Amino acid sequence: MTTPPTAATTPLTMTNHTMTTAYQQGQVTPLSPVITEFVYFNGDWWTIDPPDAWIRITDDTFAKFLDQQYYKMKSTIDLSVRH
């Protein structure tokens, strides 16, 4: 899911309201159905910063780790749905 480096215009933070709106519009993908503290939105991973903000993940190594975990959990969920 990791894309080329994010444009300098992408904010480092956003409000919970903005993220919730994007989620309701189907633009946000959580890490898994139960791990919603990390989400993929607009080409980047984000994490919640309570009470009302989200922070963009800027560490490439951690973003790649989240990619790996997302695909690992997605394939596990896909397999369990088929059985």
Question: Does residue 42 sit within a domain?
Answer: yes
Q: What percentage of the chain's residues is helix, strand, coil (to nearest 5)? A: 40, 25, 35
| pLDDT per residue as tens, the chain (83 positions) | 655 545 567 899 999 999 999 999 999 999 999 999 999 999 999 999 988 999 999 999 999 999 999 999 988 766 555 55
The SS3 call for residue 82 is: helix
Question: Does residue 5 sit within a domain?
Answer: no
Question: Does residue 47 sit within a domain?
Answer: yes
Question: Does residue 73 sit within a domain?
Answer: yes
Looking at the 3D structure of the chain, how many domains does it have? Answer: 1
Question: Does residue 8 sit within a domain?
Answer: no
- The closest of 56, 20, 21 to 38, measured between CA atoms, is 56
Give the whole-angstrom CA distance, residue 39 versus residue 27: 10
First vs last Cα of the chain: how many Å apart?
26
Domain of residue 71: give its range: 13-82
Q: pTM here?
A: 0.81
Question: Does residue 63 sit within a domain?
Answer: yes
* Cβ-based neighbour number of residue 1 at 10 Å: 14
Question: Does residue 49 sit within a domain?
Answer: yes
